Amino acid sequence: MKLNSAKTNRPGNRAKQGFTLIEMIGVLAVIAILAAVLIPKVFEAINNSRINNGAMTYNTVKTALADHYAKFGGIPIDGTANPPAAMALPVEQFDTTLLKEAFLDKPFSVKIGDGTSDATHARVRLFNISALTTASVVDGTSDTGYSLSGSSTANEITGSVCAEAVITGVNASDAKDLNDRLDGPALGSAVGTADIKGRVKFDAFVAGVTTVYIYLTHR
């Protein structure tokens, strides 16, 4: 009796086949669609994280200033001196004082801007507002006060000292996003233009960047 040893017709022994060209094109098309949808979301999430870092750091510094004031009864005071000593205005790196007093864990630094923290870049600054009046015109620089309500260009803070956060080298989109996060879009301006309304202010952009000043408190 002749036995048939051919096994090619058995399903379990059928040769395995690769993807067809049409299947590969379909897979690549799905990958391309997912990439087109997800990649912008990834960049948006990264940018939101940077703006959130700026807003959270701002709130941390505000809390540190409040604790400093509660302990020493004033703002331009070096609590590390014995006894605590008054500081001459302006003070360009008051965040280092708050650090030494253990009210901050590190010097003021955020993930937007040029990434530099020193006496002329990112810092917490104190300046004298005694000479300012409500008639003083606010601009997007330091030492001109703040129009906190945004109802006019006139200064609205009075007293002897103002504390502000300074961030240098900020691009137009980051300046706009940080303003919208802290002040809301109603107190903002168009992307790439100066803004002097609310707590966040900045002047015109030079080479695509500007210095952002953020009101913290005044006494």
At residue 99, the pLDDT reads: 97
| Domain-embedded: residue 196 | yes
Tell me whether residue 48 is in a domain: no
185 lies in which domain range? 55-218
Of residues 63, 161, 154, 139, the one with CA closest to residue 104: 63
CA distances from 43 to 35, 46, 50, 126 (A): 12, 5, 11, 35
User: What are the strands of the beta sheet with 209-218, ordered from one edge?
Assistant: 123-128, 161-171, 209-218, 200-202
**Count of domains for the chain:** 1
Tokens standing for residue 205:
């952009």
Q: Tell me whether residue 210 is in a domain.
A: yes
Which residue has tokens 């002329």? 120
| Residue 75, in any domain of the structure | yes
145 with 157: CB under 8 angstroms?
yes
Contact 75, 65 (CB under 8 A): yes
- Angle at which helix 21-72 crosses helix 172-182, to 10 degrees, equals 60
Amino acid 10: pLDDT: 53
CA–CA gap between residue 206 and residue 188 (Å, rounded): 19
pTM of the predicted model over 0.85: no
In this prediction, residue 4 carries a pLDDT of 54
- Alpha-carbon torsion, ordered 56, 173, 215, 76, to 10 deg: 80
Which strand (E) or helix (H) includes residue 69? helix 21-72
pLDDT at 114: 94
Tell me the β-bridge partners of 162. 127, 218
pLDDT averaged over 10-residue windows placed end to end, the chain, 219 residues: 50 60 79 72 67 94 97 96 96 97 95 94 96 91 95 94 97 95 94 96 96 97
